C-alpha cells in the first residue's frame, strides 16, 4: 500500500497537491463555488447566520484557525474556533443564528462528536468537514462537506489538513457570494488562487531535500520554537505539534507579536527558531514586523530558519537558513508554508530512528473523551 515510499507519511505528504485538487474538483464551476452537499442550507439561512463556531481538535483545530481569518475577511461573519473538549464543557452561548462547523479527518473523534451533539441539542445548525465517508460525525450533523484527501494512514495528519483548509475556503467563498460581501471579480480572483495551490505545493515539495538536511543537522536538538503571525500563527502551532508527536522534541508555537510579552526570554544561543514570514505584499504590513522579530531573536543567538516567499530578500541578512515558498496572496500562504514544517518533523523523526507512521502513545482516531 505504501507503494515505493518508506512510510505512509512520506507518501501522504507527497499527495498533498492531489488532496487539494480533489477537494476542489467539481466544486468550482464557471468561476463560482458549487457545493451540492449544502443544499439543505438555503441562501436565506446562510444570510441569516450571525456567528460561526468552529470545533475541532489538534491539527483540525489549526485548519479552523486558518479558516477564521479567511471567512471573516471574505464573508464578514465573526468566527470563533474552539477545541471540542473545551467547548462542550463551558456552557457556550448558542442559538439558531449560530452555525457550528466541526472539522474531523476521521469523523470519529469522540470529543468532537460530543461537541456536535451538544450544539444540536442547544438548537444550533451544524456542518461537518470530514475526510471519511459515512463516519459518525457527518451522520450527526445537518450537512457534510467532504474533503477528498483519500485515506490518511499515518497517525500525523498532513494531507487531510490542507484538504480541510481547502474545503473551508470554498465554504467561505460560497458564504461571501451569498452574503454579497465579495464582488464577482474578487471572488473569481480568490478562486483562481485556490485552484493554483496544488501546483504551488508541488513546488514546495521540491525543497524537501534542503529541509531534510536541516533536520539531519538538528537531530540532537532538545527544543524548537515556531513563530508566525496572522495565518502564519496557526501554521507555527501546527509545526510545533508535528515535531512533538513525531520526533518527541519539546516544541512551541507562538504568535510572533507575543514574543515581547514573555516568550523572548526563552531565546538562547543555538536555539532553532522557525519563522513563518508573511508575504511582503501583506496589506497590513506585517512583513517588516516579523523581520524585526527575526533580528531580535538572532541578536540573542538563536538559529533562525525562515519560511519565506520567493524573492523576499529582507530576511536574507538575518536568517541562518531560508526555505522558499512560491508567491501567493497572504490567505493562501498557510497551504504552502505548512509543507516544509511537516517534512522537517518527519525527517527529524526518521533521523532519530523513530516510527514515523505510528508515534508512541498515539492512535489515529481518538474515540475516547
Ligand atoms: C495531529 C493529529 C491530531 C488530529 C486530532 C483530530 O497530527 O493527527 O491532532 O488532528 O486528533 O483528529 P480528527 O481530525 O480525526 O478529528
Distance from residue 294's CA to the centre of ligand 1 (Å): 31
Least Cα distance to 109 among 45, 34, 58, 169 occurs for 58
Regarding the beta carbon of 106 and ligand 1, being less than 6 Å apart is answered: yes
pLDDT(283) > 80: no
Q: Whose CA is nearest to atom 9 of ligand 1?
A: 58
Regarding the beta carbon of 132 and ligand 1, being less than 6 Å apart is answered: no
Residues in CB range of 161: below 8 A, 6 or more apart: 59, 60, 62, 63, 238, 338
Q: Can you tell me which atom of ligand 1 is nearest the CA of 161?
A: 10
Largest Cα separation within the chain, whole Å, is 57
Regarding the beta carbon of 156 and ligand 1, being less than 6 Å apart is answered: yes
Predicted local distance difference test score (pLDDT) of residue 30: 87
Percent of the chain topping pLDDT 70:
100
Residue 364 annotated as catalytic: yes
Regarding the beta carbon of 109 and ligand 1, being less than 6 Å apart is answered: yes
pLDDT(284) > 90: no
Regarding the beta carbon of 58 and ligand 1, being less than 6 Å apart is answered: yes
Distance from residue 158's CA to the centre of ligand 1 (Å): 10
- For strands 98-104 and 51-56, give the pairing: parallel
Regarding the beta carbon of 293 and ligand 1, being less than 6 Å apart is answered: no
Percent of the chain topping pLDDT 90:
92
Q: Whose CA is nearest to atom 5 of ligand 1?
A: 58
Choosing from 55, 61, 105 the residue with most ligand 1 atoms within 8 A of its CB, the one to mutate for a pocket test is: 105
Distance from residue 239's CA to the centre of ligand 1 (Å): 14
Q: Read off the pLDDT band of 206 (50, 70, 90).
A: very high
Choosing from 55, 56, 57 the residue with most ligand 1 atoms within 8 A of its CB, the one to mutate for a pocket test is: 57
Query: What would the pLDDT profile of 40-69 be if each residue is shown by its tens digit?
Result: 999 999 999 999 999 999 999 999 999 999
What value of ipTM does the predicted structure carry?
A: 0.98
Residues in CB range of 9: below 8 A, 6 or more apart: 154, 156, 158, 246, 346, 356, 357
Distance from residue 265's CA to the centre of ligand 1 (Å): 31
Instruction: Tell me which residue has cell 473523551.
Output: 369
Residues in CB range of 174: below 8 A, 6 or more apart: 33, 35, 38, 46
If you average pLDDT over residues 201-228, what whole number do you get?
95
Predicted local distance difference test score (pLDDT) of residue 3: 85
**What would the DSSP string read from start to end of 176-220?**
HHHHT-S-HHHHHHHHHHHHHHHHHHHHHHTTHHHHHHHHHHTTT
Q: Is 227 exposed, middle or buried (0-12, 13-18, 19+ CB in 10 A)?
A: buried
Predicted local distance difference test score (pLDDT) of residue 366: 85
Predicted local distance difference test score (pLDDT) of residue 195: 97
Regarding the beta carbon of 279 and ligand 1, being less than 6 Å apart is answered: no
Helical (H) or strand (E) element with 22: helix 16-24
- Give the three-state DSSP class for 312: coil
Amino acid at each position: 500500500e505504501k507503494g515505493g515510499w518508506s512510510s505512509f507519511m512520506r507518501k501522504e505528504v507527497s499527495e498533498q497537491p492531489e488532496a487539494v485538487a480533489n477537494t476542489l474538483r467539481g466544486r468550482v464551476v464557471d468561476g463560482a463555488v458549487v457545493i451540492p452537499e449544502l443544499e439543505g442550507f438555503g441562501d436565506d439561512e446562510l444570510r441569516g447566520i450571525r456567528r460561526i463556531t468552529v470545533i475541532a481538535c489538534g491539527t483540525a483545530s489549526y485548519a479552523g484557525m486558518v479558516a477564521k481569518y479567511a471567512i471573516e475577511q471574505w464573508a464578514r461573519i465573526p468566527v470563533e474556533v474552539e477545541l471540542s473538549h473545551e467547548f462542550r464543557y463551558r456552557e457556550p452561548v448558542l442559538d439558531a443564528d449560530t452555525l457550528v462547523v466541526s472539522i474531523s479527518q476521521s469523523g470519529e473523534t469522540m470529543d468532537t462528536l460530543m461537541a456536535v451533539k451538544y450544539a444540536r441539542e442547544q438548537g444550533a445548525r451544524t456542518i461537518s468537514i470530514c475526510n471519511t465517508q459515512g463516519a459518525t460525525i457527518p451522520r450527526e450533523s445537518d450537512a457534510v462537506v467532504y474533503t477528498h484527501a483519500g485515506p490518511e494512514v499515518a497517525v500525523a495528519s498532513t494531507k487531510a489538513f490542507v484538504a480541510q483548509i481547502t474545503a473551508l475556503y470554498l465554504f467561505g467563498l460560497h458564504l461571501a457570494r451569498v452574503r454579497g460581501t465579495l464582488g464577482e471579480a474578487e471572488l473569481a480572483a480568490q478562486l483562481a488562487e485556490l485552484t493554483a495551490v496544488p501546483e504551488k505545493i508541488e513546488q514546495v515539495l521540491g525543497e524537501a531535500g534542503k529541509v531534510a538536511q536541516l533536520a539531519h543537522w538538528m537531530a540532537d536538538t532538545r527544543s524548537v520554537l515556531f513563530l508566525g503571525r496572522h495565518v502564519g500563527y496557526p501554521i507555527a502551532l501546527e509545526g510545533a505539534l508535528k515535531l512533538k508527536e513525531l520526533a518527541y522534541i519539546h516544541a512551541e508555537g507562538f504568535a510572533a507579536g507575543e514574543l515581547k510579552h514573555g516568550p523572548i526570554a526563552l531565546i538562547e544561543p543555538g536555539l532553532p527558531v522557525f519563522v513563518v514570514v508573511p508575504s511582503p505584499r501583506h496589506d497590513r504590513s506585517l512583513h517588516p514586523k516579523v523581520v524585526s522579530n527575526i533580528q531580535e531573536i538572532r541578536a540573542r543567538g538563536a538559529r533562525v530558519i525562515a519560511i519565506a516567499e520567493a524573492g523576499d530578500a529582507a530576511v536574507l541578512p538575518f536568517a541562518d537558513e531560508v526555505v522558499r515558498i512560491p508567491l501567493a496572496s497572504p490567505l493562501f500562504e498557510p497551504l504552502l508554508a505548512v509543507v516544509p514544517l511537516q517534512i522537517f518533523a518527519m525527517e527529524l523523526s526518521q533521523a532519530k530512528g523513530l516510527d514515523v507512521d505510528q508515534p508512541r502513545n498515539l492512535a489515529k482516531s481518538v474515540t475516547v473523551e
